[in-house]
Structure formats: structure tokens, C-alpha cells
Structure 1
Amino acid sequence: MQARAHQRFHLDQDGHSITVVRSPGRGRTELLVYGKVVSSTPSESRAVTELRGELTDGGAPRPFTVRIGRADIPGGAPLCSLEIGGTRSLMPLLPLTRSEEWPAEPTPSPRTPAELLARWRARYGRHSRHERRRPG
């Protein structure tokens, strides 16, 4: 059985870099602030994982909580949220490596004859032999 890939959630919150890395193969989830591990816990893919940390701006530390839920669909990505100062924000799932990046979307096929003609003109020139002006 192949081990599942790591998952990385990231959010820049009030100028602070907050990242969560979940390693399903190792069964651990780590919370990083500015790339430094501030909290780590064992995790299960079927349970909600909760991590706590603090942000310091030179003043009083501001505590925050990160919660990672379970995936809604089999093989899907779980939801990850950041709660700080009574505000909850979703943390997007980001690829760790180039091979995990989402593929670029292909150019959609034309839906109307006008779109098809516009693409043809852009590719092959302004006028076709069928569109030449007739002497009138």
C-alpha cells in the first residue's frame, strides 16, 4: 500500500506566515510560524486535529488555534481553518513540490461559430478566400 502524500496548508495572517504540514504516512501534523515548528501532534485522518500557537508582534502574544477536519469525500482534501481573535479563516491547501502542482487548464473548445471563426482568423490571417470582397 502506497503512503499518502503530505498536505500543506498556508495563510499569511496580519503579516505572519502560518503553515500546517500534515504527514499521513507518519501520522503527525506540525504547525509552523515563519517556517519554525511551534506545535506538533499525532493525527488521524478520520479525526479532527487541533493545534495551538501564538503570534507575537512585540506586544502581547495573540493565541490562535488551527483545526483540520476530515475530508468530506474519500480521497479528498480536508478543510483547515485558523481561528484568531474570534475570527475564523480557511487555510488553502497548497502543493509542496512542482510535481504536486495543479495542471494548467487547457483552452476550452469554442462554443459558438463566432468564437470558432475568431480563433481561425487569429491563427490563419484576417481574410480567407471565401471572404474576399466581390466587385459590386
Structure 2
Amino acid sequence: MKRLFLGFLVIIPITGYGWSIGCSIGVSTCIISQGTKIPSQQAIEIMDYCENFTYNDLGRQALRLNFSELAERSGGHDTPLVQAWFAYDYLRNSPLAFARHKEWSQTSYRDVTRACQQLSLDFDDDAKWITWFRELNEPSSKNSRYITRGWR
């Protein structure tokens, strides 16, 4: 029982850093983007948050605000700026590849938007998608290098 508990302690942090057990054992449809296998549902959520973050470049402003400044500007209402702020809070914990800093103001808006754009491009690229069926039935296809190595 102790070993099982220790096993979960090892697996839980791994799942929070862009690795999906569903992708690894083949029960999820996943996309390979930025060096990580991302389950399709999570990729869609990330793209939604990217859209909120990049809307009218509000993410650029959101990165410069702390929570109290955000509350003061929004007057307690759910504004696009508030949505951009919370979108970054989600994106910084996502598997997107960009430099994260403890101080949000040091984060590059351009890096975050590039990572979002790359996910969108990968999402539209059929060669980046993997499923258990594809892995079993197409090992010699031209796309097998994406499946087995996870890179372009």
C-alpha cells in the first residue's frame, strides 16, 4: 500500500506539467505541440483561454496588473480585461512553451501569443494528431516520426 501511495505521489506532479497518462496509454486522442502530448479537450480549452488573453491585446495590459489593480479597473465586473487576466493565470499552468516568471510583469506577451499561435497551427495539422488506432495501424507512415518522437 505504501508503494502505491508513493507511486501516486510521483505521477501527480508529472500530470501537472504537460504530460498526460491518457495520451501515453492511448485512451485519449492527443495532439503533439511544443514537445508535449496534449489531450484534445485540454488543447481546445487552452485555445479558448488564448483567445481571451489575446483579444484586443488585453493580455499585454493584464500582465502588468496585480489582482487589486484589476479589481479597481474592472469595478468588480466581468470585463474582457478580467477574462484576459484569468486566462493568463490558466495559461501559465498549461503545457504551452513560453518563459514563466514569478512576477507576471516580466513575462513576454509576445512569447505567450507565439505559443498560442503554435498550438493553433498544430491543432490544424493532421500530422500532429495521435490516437491509439493510428499508432497501431500506421507505424510505417510518413507521420510515424511525429508519433514516436513527438517533434517535427
TM bracket (short chain): under 0.3
Higher strand share: 1
Higher helix share: 2
TM-score (norm 1): 0.23
Greater Rg by CA = 1
